[in-house]
Amino acid sequence: MRVTSGAASTKRLCPHCGKPPGLRWYYLLPSNNRNRVLKCASCAGGYDLSDGAKIASMMGGFLGLGPAILLFGRIVKAGHGSAAATLTGTILVAAAFAVGSILVASIALALVPKK
C-alpha cells in the first residue's frame, strides 16, 4: 500500500492497493444490501462503504427531505392539486433525498475491505 500525506485522503482510496477505486456517485446512495461488494477498478479487490458512511448517507437523505416536503406542499398548492404538480413535487422530494444523501456520504466517506 502506498503512503500518502493525509489521513482523510487514504479513506477514499482502495483499502487493498491504495489507488482510487473508481467510486461511482450512485454507490453513495443508501443500500439495504449488507453483502454488497464493490470492485476496485485498479486491482479488482472488493470494498464497500464503512458503516459510518452508510449511516451518514441515510441521515443526509433525511435532512434533504425536510425542505423538500415543504416545497412539495407549496408546489401542489400552487398547481391546485393537479396530477402534474403532484408528480413534480414527488420528483423534487426524491431528488432532494438523493442529493442530501450523496453530499453527506461524500463528506463521511471511508472505504473498508470486503471479500
**pLDDT tens figures, 7-53:** 546 888 999 999 999 999 999 999 888 889 999 999 999 999 999 99
Question: Which residues, in sequence order, are CB contacts of 112 under 8 Å at separation 6+?
Answer: 15, 47, 48, 49, 50
For residue 96, the model assigns a pLDDT of 97
Asked if pLDDT for residue 99 goes beyond 50, the answer is yes
- Residue-number span of the structural domain to which 110 is assigned: 7-114
Q: Would 2 be classed as within a structural domain?
A: no
Q: Would 35 be classed as within a structural domain?
A: yes
Residue 2: pLDDT band by 50, 70, 90 thresholds?
very low
Q: Give the pLDDT mean for 62-66.
A: 95
Local structure of 64: helix, strand or coil: helix
Q: How many domains does the chain have?
A: 1
For residue 1, the model assigns a pLDDT of 42
Are the CB atoms for 28 and 102 separated by under 8 Å? yes
